Structure 1
Amino acid sequence: MTKPMTKTQLVAALAEEMDSDKKSAAAALEAITALITREVSAGGAVTLPGVGKIYCRERPERMVRNPQTGEQMKKEADKVVKMTIAKALKDSVNG
């Protein structure tokens, strides 16, 4: 497995793909990240065509175990960010 692409590498690749400078590419990436964060934080979902759907799911209160002590304890209800991968991306990876 290779190392994941860093933000710097992503900005450089995005700039090349857009035929633009790195500053514009970085601004575009920041804007997209801010939009996704704002929408998912508000309980909505964002679909990135060809990539997947990012959404927030609520988890109920539940009992968990402390791995160090084995003690059972109650964990409060919380929210978790999930992503469903698009079929087109799965097919391109597998096929």
Structure 2
Amino acid sequence: MQALYLPALRNDYRLIETYRGDIGELLDVPVSVCLGTTDREVDQEEAHAWSEVTRQVTDFRTFDGGHFYLRDSQVDLIEHLELLLGNPAEPAWQCWPSTP
């Protein structure tokens, strides 16, 4: 298990330690930002900063739970992602909110 997970953890920490915050060119895709309501690692202001990396709409959604809300709100998160991704027959991003 250590051989499986340790490389990923090392790379995560390498990214955290070397991140410089220069976003360069803005993305041209919508962004969905998900946040736990009691997250002590990321606050609302930090989450909303993601809107600065794209030219398109940024969707914000909170879920019950802390930094690992994925465990507590798995069903709600999956429903949210299904809504955003929509039907494969629809044009890309058709289902995204139209205003930030």
Q: Does 1 or 2 have the higher relative contact order (CA < 8 Å, sep 6+)? A: 2
TM-score (norm 1): 0.27
User: Whose strand proportion is higher, 1 or 2?
Assistant: 1
Which of structures 1 and 2 has the bigger CA Rg?
Answer: 1
